[in-house]
Structure formats: structure tokens, C-alpha cells
Amino acid sequence: MANAGACDGRRSAAGMGVYELVRSEDAAGPALDLEAGRCGPPPTAKASPAAPRQQRLVSLDVFRGITVLLMIIVDDAGSFLPAMNHSPWEGVTIADFVMPFFLFIVGVALALAYKRVPDKLDATRKATLRALKLFCVGLVLQGGFFHGVRSLTFGVDITQIRLMGILQRIAIAYLVTALCQIWLKGDDDVDSGLDLIKRYRYQLLAGLLITITYMVLLYGTYVPDWEYRISGPGSTEKTFTVKCGVRGDSGPGCNAVGMIDRKILGIQHLYGRPVYARSQQCSIDSPQNGPLPPDAPSWCQAPFDPEGLLSSVMAIVTCLIGLQYGHIIVHFQKHRERIMHWLVPSFGMLVLAFAMDFFGMHMNKPLYTVSYTLCTAGTAGLLFAGIYTLVDLYGYRRPTIAMEWMGMHALMIFVLIACNILPIFIHGFYWGEPNNNLLKFIGIRA
């Protein structure tokens, strides 16, 4: 989900990147060239009239489109269908798969876009610039610049701007994963799964070190007592004290993820509507928002960013996992080999995820725990393998044409729909008073 660069073998974008030519040879009939971009051959190469027509790797577009559609559905249906809303804390719902799916797709795209890197320094510079652009777009869209669909005002106090968000997290994962793909890969020949591990062992080691660092910080960091303030009636401020003094707590109030964000980013720069406000401890209408129970904990109204710093560390791991799935496309030509090399690790990650959850390391999206990472990445791998089988192997294109289009325009849809830019734009044109707008005329109450 980012900008596309010039038409060369080094360009890429977060989730909407351009992919190198990939050849598959065991389909019936002539071999297909699966390409995600629309770029032709390099200037030095002459296109042969008899050469097979270059195509996009359609399954990746379809997967991205399905994820975009899922994002739209959960945004609209989550308010009245708990299963379509994010889990208030531990556990996963359908909505909790959206972000990891996007990150997984980014990783796959990067493996194809950076298949060959003639100039590593130039590729690093371009990847860094693209990540910065995506991060800045995220600041504008999710930092509080726009005041809502019904409010025809805009602007944000820099001292209160939300620093992290969905696009910011994707930008961070994109940059780290791109750097790993540019700098941390060997030259070994790949004829088997073990050869693939050997060639990309340094990337796998980087993912392991990131995971270990996350676990050490999450379970080893001491979280002291802390305070926060919220505005009350009549512009008065109320101060709340959260009693902690613990290590390794994974609850909403005393976890290391929130503490690190408060210390580094500042509590005034965090998301002000925490997901745990819908938990049983904080809402009498749980799992929906509602009035506070009489015995509600003091942390129920405290800001907490679901896309914070430490949780974004594990988001990088999801992207790195997707990167390895993309390597399978690059190095294995037969469909059967690709699918088997996707299915085995996917099932393995799911088994490990549920085992960790059973033994107390629960799946938790706000903390982006290791079990949550493995569960969502394993599910993404299975779904991608299934879509690839249907679309790229058996050629079921027509039923998925809408998803393919959405996948090719994912960033545009995210900005216009998920970030409410289109509804805000429509609300900006009215007659007489703001309530008299086009949405009201066609019977939509926004």
C-alpha cells in the first residue's frame, strides 16, 4: 500500500509493490510468466512477438483485495457484530487478521520486487524514501488532522498529534524487511527447502533476534505505577493513578508495550479510544462500548496505541514471514513445489501458536504477541496458497475480478473509505446548512 517507483527491478511499495518476472512450468499448456507490474522488458532487451504475454501474479492482488474488503466490512459491521469487531484484549476475531494480512502481503511483494538488486545503496535510498512518504501520509490521515465525517473542520495540535497508526506501522515493517532483502541474503543455489533456509539464514536470524528482543522486553521490563489525566465536565481535569509495580504483566494496564509508548512517544501522542474500553472490566455493554461499571479499574480510560512501538516490532516479523513465502515463488518453478512449501510452515505456525496460547502466552492483537503473530501468519499462508491454487493454477479469474481490482488499488481505497476522506469530501458540499448534503439526499445517514 504505497507509491510505485520507476519501472525497474528494484522498485517496490508497501503491499502494492511491483514484482519481478516469475516463471511457472508445470501448468497445462505453455509456461506462464507471472508478473505483478505492467513494465515491459528492459530497454536493452528486444521483445519477441512469440514471447508469452506477461501477466501479474493475480493471486497476490486477489489476496490484497480480499483483505481490503474485509477491512471495510469490519469497520462497518463491527459496531453491531462482536465477531466482526476487534477483540477487546485477548483472543482473536476476524477483524484481528486484517493488519497481519496486509503485512504478510508486503513481505511477499518485497521478495518479488527485490529479486535482483544491482545497486544496494540506491535500492536502500529508494526504500527509505518510500517508507518516509508512507509514514507521513499516515500522520496526516490518522494523526487527528481530520476531525470526523460530520465536522467540517481540520487541523491538529502538534503537541497532541497521534504519532503511530496503520500506515506508520506498515512503513516501519516495509523498511526493515526491504533492508533485510537488500542486504541479508546469500548466493547459495536453491534446490530444496533446506537450501532456501541456507540462502536466507541471515534474514531468519534477524527475525529470531527481533522476536527474542520483543519477548525480553515484554516479559522482563519493570512497569512502575503511572498516572494520566482526562478532561471532565466543565473543562476540568481528572487524574487517575494506575497501580502496577510488576514485570511480565500482559493485562491492559501494566504491560510493557503501553509503558514504552508512554515513555518514548508521550501519553498525549497515543490513541485516545483504547480497545480495552470494550472489555467486561470497562463496559457494562461488553463487548461493545458502554458506561463504566461501578468497580471499573483506573486504567479503563487511559490512552493506548494498538499500533505502538514495541508491538510494531512483531509486525516486522509478520512481514519477514511473508518475505520467505515470496522467496518460494522466486526459487521454485512448479506449482506443486510452491504450494507444499507454503502449506508445511503454515500448519506448523498454527500448531505452535495454539500450543503457546494453551500454555499461557495468549493471542493478543494490541500487544502483538508471538502466538498472535504465528496464528495470523499461518492463516495468511494457508489463504494465500488457496487463492494461488484457484486463481494462478486453475485460472478462476472471473469470480475474483472485483477482488483483483481492489487489490490493485488498495491504497486509494484505504485512504478514501477506511480513512473517511470520501465521506468527508461529500459532506463538504451542502445547501443551506451542513446537514443538507448528498448523503442525506440519497438516504444515507453518516
Q: What is the mean pLDDT of each run of 10 residues along the chain (446 residues)?
A: 37 38 37 36 44 67 95 79 86 95 97 94 97 94 75 80 94 98 92 94 97 98 95 78 96 97 96 93 90 94 96 97 97 95 98 97 97 98 97 90 92 83 77 74 58
pLDDT of residue 145: 78
- pTM reported for the whole predicted model: 0.86
Is 409 inside a domain boundary? yes
Q: How far is CA 256 from CA 104, 249, 264, 361, 438, in A?
A: 25, 8, 12, 15, 47
Question: Cα separation of 200 and 120, whole Å?
Answer: 17
pLDDT of residue 401: 92
Q: How far is CA 125 from CA 175, 223, 286, 371, in A?
A: 10, 38, 47, 34
Q: What are the tens digits of pLDDT across the range 216-267?
A: 999 999 999 999 998 866 667 889 999 999 999 999 999 999 999 999 999 9
DSSP 334: S
What angle (nearest 5°) sits at the alpha carbon of residue 313, between those of residues 307 and 316? 100
pLDDT of residue 155: 80
In the chain the first and final C-alpha atoms are separated, in Å, by 27
Question: Cα separation of 212 and 370, whole Å?
Answer: 10
Structurally, the chain folds into a number of domains equal to 1
The residues, any chain, with a CB within 8 Å of residue 113's CB and separated by 6 or more, are 9, 10, 11, 12, 17, 18, 19, 20
pLDDT of residue 398: 87
pLDDT of residue 112: 94
Pairing mode of beta strands 32-34, 54-55? parallel
Written as nine digits, the cell of 322 is 511473508
Give the residue numbers spanning the domain of 68.
58-221+313-442
**Count of alpha carbons within 13 angstroms of residue 32, beta-carbon side:** 19
Is 48 inside a domain boundary? no
pLDDT of residue 397: 86
Is 42 inside a domain boundary? no
Is 26 inside a domain boundary? no
CB 383, CB 67: distance < 8 Å: no
pLDDT of residue 21: 32
CB 135, CB 171: distance < 8 Å: yes
pLDDT of residue 263: 97
φ/ψ (deg, to 5) at 238:
-110, 135
Is 3 inside a domain boundary? no
Is 406 inside a domain boundary? yes
Is 109 inside a domain boundary? yes
Ramachandran region, residue 91 (left: φ > 0; alpha: ψ -120 to 50; beta: rest): left
pLDDT of residue 444: 57
Question: Cα separation of 303 and 285, whole Å?
Answer: 20
Written as nine digits, the cell of 182 is 537488500
DSSP 303: -
Kindly provide the residue ranges of all beta strands, DSSP E only, lying in 215-268, ordered along the sequence: 222-223, 226-231, 237-242, 246-247
Q: What are the tens digits of pLDDT across the range 15-52?
A: 444 333 333 433 333 333 333 333 344 444 444 444 44
Question: Cα separation of 41 and 31, whole Å?
Answer: 17
Question: Cα separation of 327 and 348, whole Å?
Answer: 18
Is 84 inside a domain boundary? yes
